[in-house]
Amino acid sequence: MSQQTNVADLLKNIDMDALVRIMKPSATPDGARQLILPVYNTQVSLKAFPGSKHLTDAQLDEALIAARDLAIEFEMKLSRTRADSEVTRLNDARGEWVELSERTYDLIEKSRSYCEASGGVFDVTMGSVTPLWDFHNAVVPSREALDDALKHVGWKMIECDPQRRAVRLTDPVARLDLGGIAKGYIADALAGELVAHGCDCAFVNLGGNVLTVGSRPDGTPWRIGVRDPKAPSKMRAVLPVVGKSIVTSGLYERNFTKDGVFYHHILNPEDGMPVKTDVGGATIVSDLSLDGDGFSTTLFALGVEGALAFLEEHPNLEGIIIDKDDAVHVTSGLAKSIQLVDNK
């Protein structure tokens, strides 16, 4: 057996939950306490400042460790790749009712409303389709495989029983995939945990889902960069925000080109293929990160004009749409505050 294989076997045996639990907060140059950990297939960065309550380092650490433990709980319950998660139990139940923890039930119940509001272009039952795509190895599934998987897609097959806090998928072969909405729910919960421990100045980042608590330590707004879809290492705009969620999605996140055709990770529940869109990147500004996650897929499916109209129709949402020509389109509520960056 090769050394490489031995290392791979060793990594399989590592208890990631135990590894995360030994991660402790540390000081940052700007006077915060920070904790960085891997959760739900992304890097979570939590920063907490003394704020107006002048919290001590010990108090900030207590808040961060509580948020860390909550993040571990989400990983254990929501991951569809863990054999012992609640989502896996539900997917393997073959149509039977499964009683769930309060947060898992709440997320699944809320996800149905986002599916409905999207008109079906966002669907959390795409779990039979998404594994067919391999964006790391540029694998395009066959039409036959997609058609077979799509028979088991449809958010209306999710049934919820609030009395028992139980859920079932009426199609025994259907698979739930909360990857398109869970990060927003987790970000809201982690920020809520920090606030519950007295933090009024904090910054939560889940791989692009940014949630700010209050203003910066000096009282000024946080300045959040919006990536340029054509040059993701650069910023296309900067947003000043206080106590808001900023969720940015782009076709640059996961994609490949094969035989001259560009494929991206935002899939259409109708045909299982990448959605056809003139949107290159979409940013949603809202009070809840859940809203940003839950509606981002919808914006790509609607296209630039439809996305802007959708955002304007929802008073709790503001947004930035960057089209494939790199033009920036902004909702009315952000027009005066956004700062554009010229990368040319």
Mean pLDDT (whole number) for 1-9 = 37
Residue pair 41/178 in contact by the 8 Å Cβ criterion = no
Q: What is the pLDDT averaged over residues 124-144?
A: 96
Q: What is the 3-state secondary structure (H, E, C) of 18-68?
A: HHHHCCCCEECCCCCEEEEEEECCEEEEEEECCCCCCCCHHHHHHHHHHHH
Task: Give pLDDT, residue 15.
Answer: 61
With a cut of 70, say whether residue 129 has pLDDT above it.
Answer: yes
Least-confidence region, from 8-17, 108-117, 219-228, 303-312: 8-17
pLDDT at 9: 42
Map tokens 């540029």 to a residue: 138
What is the mean predicted confidence (pLDDT) over 8-36? 72
User: Residue 306 burial (CB < 10 Å; 0-12/13-18/19+)?
Assistant: middle
State the Cα angle at 315 between 311 and 319, rounded to 5°. 35
CA angle (289, 243, 280) in 5-degree steps = 45
CA-CA distance, 312 to 294, in Å (whole number)?
16
Helix (H, G, I), strand (E, B) or coil at 132: helix
Indicate if the pLDDT at residue 8 is higher than 60: no
**Record: fold of 86-169:** T-fold (1.10.3980)
CA–CA separation, 1 and 124 (whole Å): 41
Average pLDDT, the chain: 92
Contact between 215 and 223 (Cβ < 8 Å): no
Higher-confidence residue of 79 and 259: namely 259
Task: Note whether 256 and 342 are within 8 A (CB).
Answer: no
Is the model's pTM score more than 0.85?
yes
68 burial via Cβ count (<10 Å: 0-12, 13-18, 19+): buried
pLDDT at position 40: 81
Residue 294 identity? G
Q: Are 221 and 213 in contact (CB under 8 A)?
A: no
- 257-271: pLDDT as tens digits: 999 999 999 999 999
The predicted pLDDT at position 79 comes to: 87
Question: Six-digit token pair at 166?
Answer: 């139980």
Structural domain boundaries of the chain?
15-75+183-340, 86-169
Q: Say yes or no to pLDDT of 121 above 90.
A: yes
Supply the DSSP symbol for 265.
Answer: S
Kind of pairing, strands 166-169 and 98-99?
antiparallel
CA distance 231 to 108: 35
Give the number of C-alpha atoms closer than 13 A to the C-alpha of residue 215, restricted to the C-beta side.
7
Q: Is the pLDDT of residue 16 over 70?
A: no
The dihedral region occupied by 272, where left means phi > 0, alpha psi between -120 and 50, and beta the remainder, is left
Measured CA to CA, the distance from residue 69 to residue 65 in angstroms comes to 6
Instruction: Report the CATH superfamily, name and number, of domain 15-75+183-340.
Output: ApbE-like domains (3.10.520.10)
Q: With cut-offs at 50, 70 and 90, classify the pLDDT of residue 10.
A: very low
Is beta strand 318-323 parallel, antiparallel or unpaired with respect to 158-161?
unpaired
- pLDDT at residue 341 above 60? yes
- Please determine, for residue 150, whether its predicted confidence score (pLDDT) is greater than 50: yes
